[in-house]
Chain A
Amino acid sequence: MMDLSLVQLAWAGVLCWLGLGLAALLVQRLRGLLNLIFPLGAIVALGLAAIGAMALLGHASAIVLPIGLPDLPFHLRLDELSAFFLILLGGAAFGVTLYAWGYFRHQESGSLALLLLWYHLFLAGMTTVLLADDAYAFMVAWEVMALSSYFLVTTDHDQPDIRRAGFLYLLIAHVGAVALLLCFGVLQGGGVEGAGDYTFDTMRLAEMTPFWASVAFLLALFGFGAKAGLVPMHVWLPEAHPAAPSPVSALMSGVMLKTAIYGLLRVTFDLLNVQLGWWGALALALGLVTALYGVIFAAVQSDMKRLLAWSSIENIGVLLAGFGLTLIFYTDGKGALAALSLTAMLYHALNHAFFKGLLFTGAGAVLHATGERNMDKLGGLMRVMPWTAWLTLIGALAIAGLPPLNGFVSEWLLLQAFLLTPGLNQSYLNMVIPVAAASVALAAALAAYVMVKFFGVTFLGVARSGAVAKAHEAGWRERLGMIWLAAGCVALGLFPAQVIAALAPVVRLLTGQTLVNDGSWFLLAPVDAERASYAPLVFFAVVLVTLLLVFIWVRRVYHGRIRRADPWDCGYPEQDARMQDSAEGFGQPIRQIFSSFMRVERETPDPFDRHPRYRGDSRDKLWVLLYQPIADVAAWLSDKAGRLQHGRIQWYLIYSFATLIFLLVFVTR
Chain B
Amino acid sequence: MALSYPLQVVNLLAALLLLISFAMLSQRRIAGLVTLFAVQGAALSLSTAIVAWSTGQHHLYYSAALTLGLKVFAMPYYFFRLIRKLDVDRDVEPMITIPTTMLIGIVLVIFAFNLAMPISQMSGTVTRSTLGIAMASVLLAFLMMITRSKAIPQVIGFLAMENGLFFAATSATYGMPMVVEMGVALDVLVGVFVLGIFFFQIRETFDSLDLKHMEKLKER
B142 & A646 in contact (Cβ 8 Å cutoff): no
B95 & A650 in contact (Cβ 8 Å cutoff): yes
A424 to chain B, nearest CB (A): 59
Whether a CB of chain B sits under 8 angstroms from the CB of A547 is no
B142 & A660 in contact (Cβ 8 Å cutoff): yes
* Segment of B37-45, B53-61, B77-85, B144-152 in the binding face: B144-152
Whether a CB of chain A sits under 8 angstroms from the CB of B215 is yes
With A660-B142, A661-B111 in contact, is A649–B214 under 8 Å at CB? yes
Pairs across A and B, CB under 8 Å, 17 listed: A645-B218, A646-B215, A646-B218, A647-B216, A647-B218, A648-B214, A649-B211, A650-B95, A650-B147, A650-B148, A653-B146, A654-B146, A657-B143, A660-B139, A661-B139, A664-B115, A667-B115
Whether a CB of chain A sits under 8 angstroms from the CB of B90 is no
With A647-B214, A648-B211, A648-B212 in contact, is A642–B146 under 8 Å at CB? no
**A 629-668 contacts with B by CB, 8 A:** 642, 645-650, 653-654, 656-657, 660-661, 664, 667-668
B219 & A645 in contact (Cβ 8 Å cutoff): yes
With A657-B142, A657-B143 in contact, is A650–B218 under 8 Å at CB? no
Chain B contacts of A667 at CB under 8 A?
115
A650 & B216 in contact (Cβ 8 Å cutoff): no
With A661-B111, A664-B115, A668-B118 in contact, is A647–B217 under 8 Å at CB? yes
* Chain A residue at minimal CB-CB distance from B211: A649
Chain A contacts of B111 at CB under 8 A?
661, 664
**Besides the contacts A650-B148, A667-B115, what 12 more A-B pairs have beta carbons closer than 8 Å?**
A645-B218, A648-B211, A648-B215, A649-B211, A649-B214, A650-B149, A653-B145, A653-B146, A660-B142, A661-B111, A664-B115, A668-B118
Query: Which B residues are closer than 8 A to A by beta carbons?
Result: 95, 111, 114-115, 118, 139, 142-143, 145-149, 154, 211-212, 214-220
Q: How far is the CA of A125 from the CA of B162 in the complex (A)?
A: 46
A286 to chain B, nearest CB (A): 40
- How many residues from A make CB contacts under 8 Å with B? 16
Q: How far is the CA of A645 from the CA of B214 in the complex (A)?
A: 12
Contact of A650 among B115, B146, B219 (CB under 8 A): B146
Q: How far is the CA of A653 from the CA of B111 in the complex (A)?
A: 19
Chain A contacts of B154 at CB under 8 A?
649
B205 to chain A, nearest CB (A): 14
B215 & A668 in contact (Cβ 8 Å cutoff): no
* Chain B residue at minimal CB-CB distance from A639: B220
Chain B contacts of A656 at CB under 8 A?
142
Chain B contacts of A646 at CB under 8 A?
215, 218
Contact of A642 among B118, B142, B145, B219 (CB under 8 A): B219
B118 & A647 in contact (Cβ 8 Å cutoff): no
Q: How far is the CA of A649 from the CA of B147 in the complex (A)?
A: 10
Q: How far is the CA of A648 from the CA of B118 in the complex (A)?
A: 36
Q: How far is the CA of A642 from the CA of B220 in the complex (A)?
A: 9
Contact of A647 among B95, B139, B215 (CB under 8 A): B215
Chain B contacts of A642 at CB under 8 A?
219-220
* Chain A residue at minimal CB-CB distance from B214: A647
Q: How far is the CA of A610 from the CA of B214 in the complex (A)?
A: 59
Chain A contacts of B139 at CB under 8 A?
660-661
Q: Which of B146, B154, B214, B220 has the most CB of A within 10 A?
A: B146
Chain A contacts of B220 at CB under 8 A?
642
* Chain A residue at minimal CB-CB distance from B142: A657
B148 to chain A, nearest CB (A): 8
Chain A contacts of B95 at CB under 8 A?
650
Q: How far is the CA of A653 from the CA of B154 in the complex (A)?
A: 10
* Chain A residue at minimal CB-CB distance from B148: A650
Q: How far is the CA of A371 from the CA of B153 in the complex (A)?
A: 64
Q: How far is the CA of A648 from the CA of B211 in the complex (A)?
A: 7
The 6 A-B residue pairs whose C-beta atoms are closest, nearest first, are A647-B218, A647-B215, A653-B146, A649-B211, A653-B145, A645-B218
Q: How far is the CA of A657 from the CA of B219 in the complex (A)?
A: 23
Q: How far is the CA of A265 from the CA of B142 in the complex (A)?
A: 55
A8 to chain B, nearest CB (A): 41
Chain A contacts of B212 at CB under 8 A?
648
Q: How far is the CA of A650 from the CA of B139 in the complex (A)?
A: 15
Chain B contacts of A664 at CB under 8 A?
111, 115
Q: How far is the CA of A667 from the CA of B116 in the complex (A)?
A: 11
Chain B contacts of A654 at CB under 8 A?
146
**A 376-414 contacts with B by CB, 8 A:** none
Q: How far is the CA of A642 from the CA of B219 in the complex (A)?
A: 9
Q: How far is the CA of A649 from the CA of B153 in the complex (A)?
A: 13
Q: How far is the CA of A657 from the CA of B139 in the complex (A)?
A: 8
Q: How far is the CA of A653 from the CA of B95 in the complex (A)?
A: 13
A83-116 toward B: CB 8 Å interface, digit per residue (1/0)?
0000000000000000000000000000000000
A482-505 toward B: CB 8 Å interface, digit per residue (1/0)?
000000000000000000000000
Q: How far is the CA of A653 from the CA of B214 in the complex (A)?
A: 14
Q: How far is the CA of A17 from the CA of B154 in the complex (A)?
A: 53
Chain B contacts of A661 at CB under 8 A?
111, 139
Chain B contacts of A648 at CB under 8 A?
211-212, 214-215
Q: How far is the CA of A661 from the CA of B112 in the complex (A)?
A: 10
Q: How far is the CA of A413 from the CA of B147 in the complex (A)?
A: 76
Q: How far is the CA of A667 from the CA of B119 in the complex (A)?
A: 11
A657 & B214 in contact (Cβ 8 Å cutoff): no
A667 to chain B, nearest CB (A): 8
A664 to chain B, nearest CB (A): 6
Q: How far is the CA of A100 from the CA of B81 in the complex (A)?
A: 64
* Chain A residue at minimal CB-CB distance from B143: A657
B122 to chain A, nearest CB (A): 13
Chain A contacts of B145 at CB under 8 A?
650, 653
* Chain B residue at minimal CB-CB distance from A645: B218
B47 to chain A, nearest CB (A): 24
Chain A contacts of B215 at CB under 8 A?
646-648
B142 & A653 in contact (Cβ 8 Å cutoff): yes
Chain A contacts of B211 at CB under 8 A?
648-650
* Chain A residue at minimal CB-CB distance from B138: A660
* Chain B residue at minimal CB-CB distance from A654: B146
A646 to chain B, nearest CB (A): 7
Q: How far is the CA of A660 from the CA of B112 in the complex (A)?
A: 12
Chain A contacts of B219 at CB under 8 A?
642, 645
Q: How far is the CA of A656 from the CA of B214 in the complex (A)?
A: 19
Q: How far is the CA of A404 from the CA of B178 in the complex (A)?
A: 77
Chain A contacts of B218 at CB under 8 A?
645-647
Chain B contacts of A668 at CB under 8 A?
114-115, 118
A559 to chain B, nearest CB (A): 75
Q: How far is the CA of A645 from the CA of B215 in the complex (A)?
A: 9
* Chain A residue at minimal CB-CB distance from B216: A647
Chain A contacts of B115 at CB under 8 A?
664, 667-668
Q: How far is the CA of A656 from the CA of B215 in the complex (A)?
A: 18
Q: How far is the CA of A657 from the CA of B138 in the complex (A)?
A: 11
Q: How far is the CA of A190 from the CA of B136 in the complex (A)?
A: 45
B138 to chain A, nearest CB (A): 9
Q: How far is the CA of A649 from the CA of B146 in the complex (A)?
A: 8
* Chain B residue at minimal CB-CB distance from A652: B146
B186 to chain A, nearest CB (A): 23
Q: How far is the CA of A648 from the CA of B154 in the complex (A)?
A: 13
Q: How far is the CA of A93 from the CA of B41 in the complex (A)?
A: 67
Q: How far is the CA of A538 from the CA of B214 in the complex (A)?
A: 81
Chain B contacts of A650 at CB under 8 A?
95, 145-149, 211
Q: How far is the CA of A656 from the CA of B139 in the complex (A)?
A: 11
A644 to chain B, nearest CB (A): 10
A11 to chain B, nearest CB (A): 38
B136 to chain A, nearest CB (A): 12
A661 to chain B, nearest CB (A): 7
* Chain B residue at minimal CB-CB distance from A648: B215
A666 to chain B, nearest CB (A): 11
* Chain A residue at minimal CB-CB distance from B145: A653
Q: How far is the CA of A664 from the CA of B219 in the complex (A)?
A: 32
B198 to chain A, nearest CB (A): 12
Q: How far is the CA of A364 from the CA of B115 in the complex (A)?
A: 69
Q: How far is the CA of A174 from the CA of B219 in the complex (A)?
A: 26
Chain B contacts of A649 at CB under 8 A?
154, 211, 214
